[in-house]
Amino acid sequence: MTVSKGKKLLILGVLLVVIDQIIKVLVKTNMGIGEHFNVLGEWFQILFIENEGMAFGMKFGGAVGKAALSLFRIVLCALLCWWITSLVRRGTPLAKGDNASKEPVPAGVLIGLTLITAGAFGNIIDSLFYGMLFSASAPGEVAVLGGYYAPFLFGKVVDMFYFPLFTWPDWVPWLGGHIFFEPVFNFADSCVTVGAIYLILFQWKFFAKDDK
């Protein structure tokens, strides 16, 4: 039995979200905030921090901003799912209107968009449910499943990947003494970033042509 293109993308998306959540749950239930260990020397570390929901540990002001960001992510994921579904149907018997006469969309475009969607959805899960599923994490205090620290929409996103590749020499203006890459991020952030960079570098011709 042949698996359709849409089902393959769905399987990919679900797999990415599952990987993201497994990593986050393992970190949150085994490490306290600020705890870290080296993976490949000091330049690749697992460092447990939490943020209010923006990528790479950035913050978005206050409770209202946090709720707005969570709702925005939900709407964004819904729109991306609708867009991917529309692109999958192009040039197929299921297509209607203009989509029926258009050429099928390259697989790379669909995969890139699926990476972005899966990454956004992975962080949505943290924001929506983690506050109601886990106890609060703190320095030296490991969270447990079955606790509670925040209501719906106000959970914190778990980050853990840290790559302090090198420190700029002191003589470098403005950058001296600072770490080259300081953000701490998670697997979901990586999916969004890789998907976006891939589309920009290798699939821009499709979007330029489609826009015309």
Query: Which of 126, 189, 210, 211 is an active site residue?
Result: 189
Which H or E run contains 99?
A: helix 98-101
Q: Is 189 considered catalytic here?
A: yes
Check the CA dihedral 61-66-69-73 and report its sign: positive
Give the Cα separation of 51 and 173 in Å (integer). Answer: 29
CB–CB of 17/122 below 8 Å? yes
CB–CB of 76/82 below 8 Å? no
* Single-letter amino acid, residue 167: T
Query: Which of 20, 126, 159, 211 is an active site residue?
Result: 159
Q: Is 210 considered catalytic here?
A: no
* Single-letter amino acid, residue 90: R
Known catalytic residues are 159, 189
